[in-house]
Amino acid sequence: MTKNNQKMVKRFSKPVIIAHWLNAGAFFLLYLTGLPMYTELFDWVYVVFGGPAGARLVHRIGAVLFILPVVYILLADPKSFFYWIKQILTWKSHDFQFFLQFPKEFFGGHAKVPKQDFYNAGEKLNSLLAIITTIMLMGSGFIMWFPAYFSQSMIMWAYPLHNIGLGLSIAVVVGHIYLSVGHPNSRVSLRGMTKGDIPETYAKDHHGRWYDDLKQDGSPKKKQA
Ligand code: HEM
C-alpha cells in the first residue's frame, strides 16, 4: 500500500474501527445527556431532547450503546480484542521508560523513547483507565437505573462513584483526543483509526517493537489488531 509515495502498513481492522467509534459516539451522547443532571448551565440540553425525561431516556440508550462495542468486537474480531487485552496487561521495562521520556516528547523536545509495542505505554495506560472508568460508570449507573434490586448503602455509594468515574474519564478522553488529533507527533495515528493503515515510517518511529516483528514475519497482516 502507498499513499503520496509513502509505504503504508495495516494497523486496525474494520471491526476495531467500528467498535472504537461506536464507543466514542456513545461516550459523547452519555456526556451530553448527563451534563444537565449536574448543572443548570446545561438546561438547554433538556430542550434538545424534549425535556428531562427525554434526556434520561437517551442517557439510558447511550449506556447500552456504550457496552455494545464489546459484544460486537467479541463476535466480529475476537483476535484483535484479546490481542489488545494481552498487550495492555503486559508491562516491561521499555513501557516504564516511556513515561520518563514522554514529557520531553510531549513538549516538542527530542526524546529518546525506547521502542514501543503495537500499543505504546501511554496507550496501554489510556486503555486501562478507559476500562476502569467504564466499569465504575457502568456498575454505578446500573445500580442507579435499577435501585429496587440494591441495598440503600449501595445506592448511596453509586452516586459519588458515578461522579468520580465521569471526572476521571473526561480527563483521560481529553488527553486521548489531544494526542490523536492535536499533537503534531502523534496525530498521524488518526488515519489508523479511520482508514485502517498508517505510514510505515510512523510505525517504525512510534511502535518500533511491533514494526520489527512485522519486518521479521514479512507479513504485516499477521500482527495487525
Ligand atoms: C474524537 C474522539 C476520539 C478520537 C479522535 C480518537 C482517536 C483514536 C485513535 C487515533 C486511536 C488509535 C491510536 C493508535 O494508533 O494506537 C484510538 C485508540 C483508542 N481509543 Fe480513541 N478516540 C476518540 C474517542 C475515544 C473515546 C471517547 C474513548 C473511550 C471512552 C476512546 C478509547 C480508545 C482506546 C481504549 C484506544 C486504544 C488505546 C489507544 O490507542 O490509546 N477513544 N483512538
Cα(135) to centroid of ligand 1, in Å? 17
* Ligand 1 neighbourhood includes 95 CB (under 6 angstroms): no
- Which residue's alpha carbon is nearest to atom 42 within ligand 1? 24
What 3 state SS string does 85-134 have?
HHHHCCCCHHHHHHHHHHHHHHCCCCCCCCCCCCCCHHHHHHHHHHHHHH
Residues 31-85: pLDDT tens digits? 999 999 988 999 999 999 999 999 999 999 999 999 999 999 999 999 999 999 9
Residues 80-131: pLDDT tens digits? 999 999 999 999 999 999 999 988 888 877 788 999 999 999 999 999 999 9
Domain spans, the chain: 10-217
Cα(225) to centroid of ligand 1, in Å? 14
Which cell is 52 given? 428531562
| Four-way CATH pick for 10-217: 1.20.950.20, 3.40.309.10, 1.10.101.10, 3.40.50.300 | 1.20.950.20
Q: Helices 52-76 and 78-88: crossing angle, nearest 10°?
A: 100
Q: Which atom of ligand 1 is nearest to the CA of 191?
A: 10
Number of CB atoms found within 10 A of residue 115's CB: 16
Q: Which atom of ligand 1 is nearest to the CA of 84?
A: 37
What does pTM read for this prediction? 0.91
* Ligand 1 neighbourhood includes 17 CB (under 6 angstroms): no
Q: Using the structure block, give the residue that is written with the C-alpha cell 474501527.
A: 17
